[in-house]
Amino acid sequence: MDINLINKYNVPGPRYTSYPTVPHWNVQDFRLTTWKDKLLETFNSTNKTEGISVYIHLPFCESMCTFCGCNKRITKKHEVESPYIKAVLKEWSLYLNLFDEKPIIKQLHIGGGTPTFFSPENLNYLLTCIINTSHLADDYEFSFEGHPNNTTKEHLQTLFDLGFRRVSFGVQDYNITIQEAIHRVQPFSKVKQVTELAREIGYTSIGHDIIYGLPFQTLENVEYTIEKTKELAPDRIAFYSYAHVPWLKGNGQRGYSEENLPDGKDKLMMYEVGKSRLLDFGYQNIGMDHFSLTTDSLYKALEQKTLHRNFMGYTHAKTDVMIGLGTSSIGDSWNGFYQNVKNIEEYQSLVNNQIFPISKGHILTDEDLIIRQHILNLMCHYETKWDDKTLHSKALEKAPLKMFPLVNDGLVTVSDSQIKVTPKGKPFIRNICMAIDQYLNPNAKMQFSKTV
């Protein structure tokens, strides 16, 4: 990989789980009444044809992992579980009262925090209440994030009995020095145990999350972790670049200095070698940071060109409506976004008073919707076209000029109506999308992690 390209393009940039990205939402003009109208409009037109997605944020963790930038509360007091679950169900009832018919759930995902902080009994209560007040699509998918150190057989069995068939386990790296630095010590034996338990119970899609670019991490560490992962043969692998964002309040990423992190050149080498190993082991590159076996639904979606990307990352199915429940959760009605308040006490107080716990949002303009679709196309299919008038925007007329450096460096090809990413350009997909992002200000204060 050309070091000059790395130095040139290793700049702060969005991961594009949405467009516009959260820092660029027009929160000043966001109105709850307008958002409700937009949500209902989309729900009423798509609920019966494609259903909805539901994301539930469970924010509690027993210990701090210093690589994590998610919204969480560190505590060992498990009496927090019941009040929080009751609050989530009250928030869910606000949506049920808003809708004219029962929602049809196509996808449901539990994230955190640490979802398996919650007892199997409490998870069963929460999910049973949601399932019993909804319909399930014929091809529904339930998934959750499991911590290898505290995901028990009871957790796995309880969730399996409720319809869960996909689970992802956070591996990060198997080197003990790195694990101690990020406060996430978990031996290979624990990951092996929960992976095999999930498989024995009947889970059909097991994922492992691996991170490169961690403090003290070397290329050899990444290779070793992938070699060990091969032994367990997960169906999916998320191979993420560590996002160093210490400026975010409370994210715990101040336990090591910048000097302890691999530089851009070393990180890209970790990615290139790691990707090569995964391909050698039979995994297919799905998108920016996802790999899967050919038997997994993610690969089938790639082949069928139905791959989608949203706030939950890459997914095999698209729904226009995604309801986010819990603190800091983000929701999507395709024509609008919202995010819940991040403070647990404020969240519980609002929903206990029958108030939507939304802190901010954005209503998409016509141009937003067009650019959003093009960025989705680039992120999921590495190409996009605007020969269809419905996908044409004045902003795209400037694309050939704005992408001249990318073309000159061999990362994309651009015509009057198409952008196509070259194999050389795939590692720089975030930079490519940035070229058509109408909100980015290169002189703004750093708001994103670096792209490499």
Report how far residue 177's alpha carbon sits from residue 179's, in angstroms, rounded to the nearest whole number: 5
Clarify whether residues 316 and 381 are in a common domain.
no
Question: pLDDT confidence of 249, banded at 50, 70, 90?
Answer: very low
Report how far residue 18's alpha carbon sits from residue 32's, in angstroms, rounded to the nearest whole number: 20
Supply φ then ψ for residue 7, to 5 degrees.
-65, -35
Question: pLDDT confidence of 7, banded at 50, 70, 90?
Answer: confident
Clarify whether residues 231 and 378 are in a common domain.
no
What CATH number is given to the structural domain containing 32? 3.80.30.20
Clarify whether residues 342 and 408 are in a common domain.
no
**Percent of the chain topping pLDDT 70:** 94
Clarify whether residues 326 and 411 are in a common domain.
no
SS3 at position 90: helix
Which are the contacts of 451, defined by CB distance < 8 A and separation ≥ 6?
9, 10, 11, 12, 13, 428, 430, 431
- Where a domain ends, among 363, 378, 395? 363
Report how far residue 267's alpha carbon sits from residue 43's, in angstroms, rounded to the nearest whole number: 42
Query: What average pLDDT score do residues 141-164 get?
Result: 97
Nearest CA-CA partner of 428 in 276, 299, 262, 264 = 264
Query: What average pLDDT score do residues 173-194 get?
Result: 94
**Residue 399, both tokens:** 């694309």
Burial of 360 from C-beta contacts in 10 A (0-12 / 13-18 / 19+): middle
Report how far residue 356's alpha carbon sits from residue 358's, in angstroms, rounded to the nearest whole number: 6
Burial of 180 from C-beta contacts in 10 A (0-12 / 13-18 / 19+): exposed
Asked if 349 and 87 count as a contact pair (C-beta separation under 8 A), the reply is no
Clarify whether residues 6 and 36 are in a common domain.
no
| Number of domains the chain is built from | 2
Clarify whether residues 298 and 349 are in a common domain.
yes
| Cα distance between the two ends of the chain | 12
**Residue 211, both tokens:** 């991170």
Asked if 288 and 430 count as a contact pair (C-beta separation under 8 A), the reply is yes
Task: Report whether pLDDT(429) > 70.
Answer: yes
Nearest CA-CA partner of 447 in 248, 267, 255, 257 = 248
**pLDDT tens-digit map of 253-308:** 455 777 888 987 888 889 889 999 999 999 999 988 899 999 999 999 999 999 99
Query: What average pLDDT score do residues 218-246 get?
Result: 91
Nearest CA-CA partner of 184 in 273, 246, 231, 253 = 253
Say which DSSP state 445 is in: P
- Where a domain ends, among 348, 363, 378? 363
Specify the pLDDT at position 437.
92
Q: Which residue has the tokens 């929701």?
A: 331
Clarify whether residues 416 and 356 are in a common domain.
no
What CATH number is given to the structural domain containing 394? 1.10.10.920
Which phi-psi region, left, alpha or beta, contains residue 271 (left: φ > 0; alpha: ψ -120 to 50)? alpha
**Percent of the chain topping pLDDT 90:** 73
- Where a domain ends, among 339, 363, 387? 363
Nearest CA-CA partner of 115 in 92, 83, 148 = 148
**pLDDT tens-digit map of 39-62:** 999 999 999 999 999 999 999 998
Structural domain harbouring 442: 1-18+366-452
Task: Report whether pLDDT(324) > 50.
Answer: yes
